[in-house]
Amino acid sequence: MTRRALTMSRTDLDRRIAEERMHELQPHGQPPEWLWHLGTEQPRVWTMTLDGTLSASWQWLDTLDWRDVAAIRMEYAHGQVIDPAALESADDLW
């Protein structure tokens, strides 16, 4: 199997992330630095791997294996989508 089969092109991955309304991780495979903004919240997380595969179902944040994750979408338990940019700007108010 070639490396190309294991990952999508940069353009295809960007398009797929946008279609699924996900947040890309930089760098891939590591938790984002802004997670501390969540405090004690325990969101549900959907993941996308570098080959564009979506997780079959959500996972709790603290059970997530970050190794192959390229992008995530998080929601609070009541269904509201968590926007990382809003978390960071809300912190600026303090």
HSE-CB at 85 with a 13 A cutoff on CA atoms is 3
What mean pLDDT do residues 69-88 have? 88
For position 35, what pLDDT does the model report?
87
The pLDDT tens digits for 25-72 are 999 999 988 888 888 888 999 999 988 899 999 999 889 999 999 999
Choose between 82 and 89: higher pLDDT: 82
Q: What's the first-to-final CA gap in the chain, in angstroms?
A: 51
Q: What is the pLDDT of residue 90?
A: 57
- Any idea where the domains of the chain sit in the sequence? 3-92
Scored b (16 or more CB within 10 A) or e, 9-45 reads eeeebeebbeeeebbebeebeeebeeeebeeeeebbb
**For 9-26, what is the mean pLDDT?**
88
